[in-house]
Amino acid sequence: MKLFEALDTLEPAFDDFLSSLTGEVHKGDEEEEPAAANVCVIADVFVAWTVDVARRRGLAHAFFASCGAFGSAILHALWANIPVLPFGPDGTLRLPEHPTVVLHRSQLSPIFSSGDERWTAYHRRHLPRGYLTNAVISNTVEELEPTGLAMLRRTLGGVPVYPLGPLVRGVPASDEDDGGSDGTILSWLDTQRPSSVVYISFGSQNTIRANQMAELAAALESTGRPFVWVVRPPVGFDVNGAFRDEWLPGGFEARARASGRGLVVCGWAPQLRILAHAATGAFLSHCGWNSVLESLTHGVPLLGWPLAAEQFYNVKMLAEEWGACVEVARGNMESSVVERSRVVEAMEKVMGGTAESETLRRRVAEARQVLSRAWAEDGGSSRAALHDFFRAMRLR
């Protein structure tokens, strides 16, 4: 919260920067077009004040929504309705903006559950600016999220939304490996059967509780499936701190290594390389949007364990609209119950070689094709949307 509040103080400096930038553009323009020509401010929604600066200077402005369209639409509606959310007696929630979408109290980030006044005030202050921008760029694909994009466009009224995804990094060249843990993980994956390994990571900013780690570890041992688990300190500790053996069941890591059945990796792992490896058969993830796109881009089914923000709605969309994800658990609060039997059941649904798992893998393959075609020169929807965006912003 302190970081986002600090960002608000940058407005005067950014105004000065745009003043110098547009002055240089005007000076170097031989045809003496207006200084605002060919300048468009593209900003994250957490610096929403940039729209005020751009409008004062007559510049085009676009917000970049780094998460998916469905998640963006739901978050926007949640912030518009807090602190009074219309829960039903069974904990269900139907937002006025999206009455056909049924949510549950368990799918709310702790920020919404607690009604944090600073967050509420922050978003209430910035939310109206979303209607003043010239455009919204969404990191998604038209064919991947038709429902979510329709919801987002309806929410924003006349503000055009341009899906310009997937914005996913390519797999680094092999000579970029550091030869350390990267090489160890990849060499171990080389020894595993195709599509047999469960890759587990909750991202760089998220983690689960110690008792949840114990249940997940027990589930992994129960299935006997090979795994790569990227661990971070549990809730209540510095997520970037050192990991302690006591947070996992006694002897868990040693047994996994001795049997050659699994790797426990502390802190960081080469995610793109792991997802691109033929041995990787499923990704147990918090389902942050970048991880979702990276997984689908490489054709890897998802086991969803959302923890915060729009992750709950990413899982909902992937499971209900695409059938490309099976939810394992929700949240990392004290009230968030995680049962090893449910984790085992979810893994079997994805990796069990059943008709259900084959259907899921087929749907993931279809999503992968949608993402790969988005930037095709012969009619890719994201490529076309990019050209539309340039024309609308009068950029050349």
Helix (H, G, I), strand (E, B) or coil at 255: helix
Output the pTM of the full model.
Answer: 0.91
Give the separation between CA 247 and CA 209, rounded to whole angstroms. 9
Which residues 6+ apart lie within 8 Å of 310 measured at CB? 67, 68, 71, 72, 74, 75, 289
Name 136's bridge partners: 63, 161
Tell me the average confidence (pLDDT) per consecutive run of 10 residues in the chain, 396 residues long.
83 92 60 62 92 93 96 92 87 95 91 68 79 95 98 93 93 56 89 97 92 94 96 90 89 92 93 97 98 98 95 97 95 78 94 93 98 96 97 80
pLDDT in tens, 330-387: 988 766 778 899 999 999 999 998 999 999 999 999 999 999 999 999 999 999 999 9
Q: How much is the pLDDT for 178?
A: 47
pLDDT in tens, 307-333: 999 999 999 999 999 999 999 999 887
Q: How much is the pLDDT for 126?
A: 79
Give the separation between CA 320 and CA 289, rounded to whole angstroms. 16
Sheet hosting strand 227-231, strand order edge to edge: 262-266, 227-231, 197-201, 280-285, 302-304, 325-327
Does domain 33-165+384-393 fall under CATH 3.40.50.970? My reply is no
Q: How much is the pLDDT for 175?
A: 46
Q: How much is the pLDDT for 179?
A: 46
Q: How much is the pLDDT for 279?
A: 98
**What are the start-end ranges of the E strands in the chain?**
40-44, 60-65, 92-93, 103-104, 135-138, 161-163, 197-201, 227-231, 262-266, 280-285, 302-304, 325-327
All CATH 3.40.50.2000 domain ranges in the chain, comma separated: 33-165+384-393, 180-373
CATH topology of domain 180-373: Rossmann fold (3.40.50)
